Amino acid sequence: MNIILLGAPGAGKGTQATKISEKYRLPHISTGDIFRDNIKRQTPVGLLAKSYTDNGKLVPDEVTCEIVKGRLEADDCKNGYLLDGFPRNLFQAETLESFSKADAVLNIDVDLSLLMARLCGRRVCKDCGESYHVDFLGGKTVCERCGGELYQRKDDNEETVGNRLKVYSEQTAPLIAYYSERNVLLNIDGVGAIDEVFARIVAALK
Ligand code: ADP
Ligand code: ADP
Ligand code: ZN
According to CATH, the topology of domain 2-111+163-205 is Rossmann fold (3.40.50)
**Contact of 106 with 5, CB cutoff 8 Å:** yes
pLDDT digits (tens, 9 = 90+) for 33-61: 999 999 999 999 999 999 999 999 999 99
**Dist. CA 151 → ligand 1 center (Å):** 15
In short, whether 58's Cβ falls inside 6 Å of ligand 2 is: yes
Atom of ligand 2 nearest to the CA of 164: 14
3-state secondary structure 28-57: EEEHHHHHHHHHHCCCHHHHHHHHHHHHCC
Q: Which residues pair with 14 in a beta bridge?
A: none
pLDDT digits (tens, 9 = 90+) for 73-110: 999 999 999 999 999 999 999 999 999 999 999 999 99
Domain residue ranges in the chain: 2-111+163-205
Extract the annotated binding site for AMP.
31, 36, 57-59, 85-88, 92, 153, 164
Total Cβ atoms within 10 A of residue 119: 23
pLDDT digits (tens, 9 = 90+) for 135-178: 999 999 999 999 999 999 999 999 999 999 999 999 999 999 99
Q: Once rounded to an integer, what is the mean pLDDT over residues 121-135?
A: 96
Q: Which helix (H) or strand (E) holds 159?
A: helix 158-167
Q: Is there a catalytic annotation at residue 40?
A: no
pLDDT digits (tens, 9 = 90+) for 173-197: 999 999 999 999 999 999 999 999 9
Closest ligand to C-alpha of residue 155 is: 2
pLDDT band for 65, please (50, 70, 90 cuts).
Answer: very high
Instruction: Choose the catalytic residue: 13, 118, 123, 200.
Output: 13
Which residues contact residue 102 at a Cβ distance below 8 angstroms, ignoring those fewer than 6 apart?
Answer: 2, 3, 4, 83, 96, 179, 182, 184
For the chain, how far is it from start to end, CA to CA, in angstroms?
Answer: 12
Q: Is there a catalytic annotation at residue 123?
A: no
Helices 31-40 and 61-72: angle between axes, nearest 10 degrees:
100
pLDDT band for 4, please (50, 70, 90 cuts).
Answer: very high
